[in-house]
Homo-oligomer: A and B are copies of this chain.
Amino acid sequence: MTALLLIILGGLCAVAYGIVTINDVMRRDAGTQRMQEIAGAIAEGAQAYLRRQYATIGAVGVVLFALLAWFLGLKVAVGFLIGAVLSGVAGFIGMNVSVRANVRTAQAAAQSLGAGLSVAFKSGAVTGMLVAGLALLGVALYYTYLTRFAGLDPASREVIDALVALGFGASLISIFARLGGGIFTKGADVGGDLVGKVEAGIPEDDPRNPATIADNVGDNVGDCAGMAADLFETYAVTLVATMVLAAIFFSGQTDVGGRNVLETMLLYPMAIGAACIITSIVGTFFVRLGANQSIMGALYKGLIGAGALSIVAIAGLNLVMFGGFSTRFTTAGGDSFTSLSLFLCAVAGLVITALIVVITEYYTGTRYRPVKSIAHASVTGHGTNVIQGLAISLESTALPAIVIVAGIIVTYSLAGLFGIAIAVTAMLALAGVVVALDAFGPVTDNAGGIAEMAGLPKEVRKSTDALDAVGNTTKAVTKGYAIGSAGLGALVLFAAYTSDLNYFIKNASPTQYPFFQGVTVDFSLSNPYVVVGLLLGGLIPYLFSGIAMTAVGRAAGAVVEEVRRQFREKPGIMQGTERPDYGRAVDMLTKAAIKEMVVPSLLPVLSPVVLFFVIQAIAGKGQAFAAVGAMLLGVILTGLYVAISMTSGGGAWDNAKKYIEDGHHGGKGSDAHKAAVTGDTVGDPYKDTAGPAVNPAIKITNIIALLLLAILAHS
Interface residues of chain A, those whose CB is within 8 Å of chain B, are 190, 194, 198, 373, 377, 380-384, 386-388, 390-398, 401-402, 404-405, 408-409, 412-413, 417, 420, 491, 494-495, 498, 523-526, 528-532, 534-536, 538-539, 542-543, 545-547, 549-550, 552-553, 618-619, 629-630, 633-634, 637-638, 640-641, 645, 677-678, 680-682, 685-686, 690
Contacts and interface: CB of A to CB of B under 8 A. Distances in A.
Copies in the complex: 2
B404 A549 contact: no
B377 A553 contact: yes
Contacts of A618: 409, 413
Nearest to A685: B387
A485 to B, nearest CB: 15
A124 B396 CA distance: 39
A634 B534 CA distance: 9
14 contacts: A383-B677, A383-B678, A384-B553, A391-B553, A394-B543, A395-B546, A397-B546, A405-B535, A409-B532, A409-B618, A525-B525, A531-B633, A542-B641, A638-B638
A536 B401 contact: yes
Provide the main secondary structure of the chain A interface.
helix
Contacts of A390: 546, 549, 682, 686
Contact of A528 (B391, B412, B534): B412
Contacts of A645: 542
Nearest to A644: B542
A377 B552 CA distance: 12
B542 A398 contact: yes
Contact of A637 (B420, B637, B678): B637
A534 B668 CA distance: 44
Contacts of A386: 386, 678, 681-682
B553 A633 contact: no
Contact of A381 (B391, B549, B637, B678): B678
Given A392-B546, A397-B542, A409-B618, A528 B417 contact: yes
Given A405-B532, A523-B525, A549 B637 contact: no
A550 B685 CA distance: 23
A247 B439 CA distance: 61
Contacts of A420: 528
A544 to B, nearest CB: 8
Contacts of A690: 394
Contacts of A387: 549, 552-553, 681-682, 685
A529 to B, nearest CB: 8
Contact of A678 (B392, B417, B678): B678
A390 B650 CA distance: 13
A380 B634 contact: no
A92 to B, nearest CB: 31
Given A386-B678, A525-B525, A395 B637 contact: no
A549 B633 contact: no
A413 B619 contact: yes
Given A384-B190, A395-B543, A550-B388, A408 B678 contact: no
Contact of A531 (B392, B408, B638, B682): B408
A394 B549 contact: yes
B383 A682 contact: yes
